[in-house]
Amino acid sequence: MSETPDPEVIELASKVYDLARTGDADALAAYVDAGVPVNLTNEQGHTLVMLAAYHGHAAAVSALLARGADVDRANDRGQTPLAGAVFKGEDEVVRALLAGGANPEAGTPSAVDTARMFGRTELVELFGSR
């Protein structure tokens, strides 16, 4: 038995996802501090961290990680925020995720595999030194 989602809840979730995409770290932090789940996921399994990472927002990533977000939580396709940041060439986000404890071997493809695929030897070396 499934309930129809409350339109206000859907609207709030959409707003929070947009904040992650646009990188509004302060507003994201405020919503999470007020009770929005830090590991909220959308219909594709993207977390707030994944959306912020993929769109290049290191400050938003750090704010979410400081509030307990799962740094290695993969989306429905098995992709992690770190692999997404490597794919997008977001080096500052890569550093923020690593500082938050991200595992370069997590996910499919992993961040290591993604770095190899795109010839990012400096990242492969960085990941290997961890």
User: Which pLDDT tens digit goes with each residue over 94-112?
Assistant: 999 999 999 999 999 999 9
CATH architecture assignment, domain 7-128: Alpha Horseshoe (1.25)
* Domain extent listing, the chain: 7-128
Q: Using an 8 Å Cβ cutoff, are 80 and 107 in contact?
A: yes
User: Which pLDDT tens digit goes with each residue over 59-81?
Assistant: 999 999 999 999 999 999 999 99
What is the value of pTM for the model shown?
Answer: 0.93
Q: Using an 8 Å Cβ cutoff, are 100 and 108 in contact?
A: no
